[in-house]
Amino acid sequence: MPNKLCSVSSLLLLFSLLPMPGCQSGAAIGEQPAPLDCTLVLIKTGPRLEPLTKEESDKVFAGHIGNMERLAHEGHLLVAGPYGKEKTDATLRGLFVLNTGNRQEAIRLAETDPGFQAGVFSLEYHDLATGAPLRECLASVLAQADAAKREGRQQAPGDGIRGYVLLKASAGEAAQVALRGLPGVLILGSFDQQSAWAVLDAADVPAARQLLAPVTTDLGECTLDAWYATGELAKMATFVRR
């Protein structure tokens, strides 16, 4: 498998072309709206063993980018980003948050990805319920992208990208209560109705541990994974679900 499809830098291109923000900051999560039912898709290393040729790699990668943009413009893809080096599962490559809680619809949408169709990626599906205003974030980002296009401005690959940390905590509802209102919690939700899931405003895993220090005993068993996305994610406290 060529490095182009394996490296973080190649995946960053996807999210710099269409920078997907996260949403609410911990300081703004006081009163929770009714949860938005989504599907979180973990993108993992696929079953393909035979390396792609350069021509095949270029075609799959271009298709991957195009499909991401299409899903976002159609309102299906709300949040996306690649994993960093510090992760609890070596097969993790990236994630999608899809604007549907219907598993069959989520599978239909995710499997349009050319990387999956070529066997480069495999996909793992989980329920995600969150009060974060993901749809409003998407609408704002697309409006900014359209404005940039009209003005003839182009982003270079990787512009505006920074590190975050993804948290999954086994204590579930108790962990959500502990995390709600904690500074640095950008997205907070329920993962498969059992665990708490959050995007943390931390540059790396050690920084995330420091951020979580006041509530560590309330979280149960945790996983922390480095993750990359647009720097706009840290500004999402201004978005409010309607």
Give 176's pLDDT tier (boundaries 50, 70, 90). Answer: very high
Q: State the sign of the Cα–Cα–Cα–Cα dihedral 219, 165, 32, 38.
A: negative
Q: Report the run of H or E that residue 16 belongs to, with start and end.
A: helix 8-17
Give 144's pLDDT tier (boundaries 50, 70, 90). Answer: confident
User: Given this model, what pLDDT does residue 29 score?
Assistant: 43
Residue 168 lies in a domain: yes
Residue 48 lies in a domain: yes
Residue 241 lies in a domain: no
> What is this structure's pTM?
0.84
Residue 45: C-alpha distances to residues 8, 30, 71, 89 (Å):
13, 38, 21, 10
At 5, which amino acid appears?
L
Residue 242 lies in a domain: no
**Taking 90 as the threshold, does the pLDDT of residue 141 lie above it?**
no
Q: What dihedral do alpha carbons 35, 44, 90, 11 form, nearest 10°?
A: -90
Q: How far apart are CA 204 and CA 168, in angstroms?
A: 15
Two tokens, residue 189: 């939700």
Residues 6+ apart with CB under 8 A from 215: 175, 178, 179, 182
What number of other Cβ atoms are within 10 A of residue 180's Cβ? 18
Q: How far apart are CA 191 and CA 197, in angstroms?
A: 6
Q: In this structure, what CATH number is given to the domain that contains residue 129?
A: 3.30.70.1060
**Taking 70 as the threshold, does the pLDDT of residue 96 lie above it?**
yes
Q: How does pLDDT run across 29-86, given as a tens digit for each residue?
A: 445 568 899 999 999 999 999 999 999 999 998 998 899 899 999 999 998 889 999 9
Q: Is 146 exposed, middle or buried (0-12, 13-18, 19+ CB in 10 A)?
A: exposed
Identify which has the larger pLDDT, 55 or 24. 55
User: Given this model, what pLDDT does residue 136 score?
Assistant: 83
Domain extent, residue 145, equals 3-235
Residues 6+ apart with CB under 8 A from 90: none
Q: How does pLDDT run across 199-239, given as a tens digit for each residue?
A: 999 999 999 999 999 999 999 999 999 999 877 777 777 77
Residue 240 lies in a domain: no
Residue 194 lies in a domain: yes
Percentages helix, strand, coil for the chain (3-state, rounded to 5) are 40, 25, 35
Total structural domains in the chain?
1
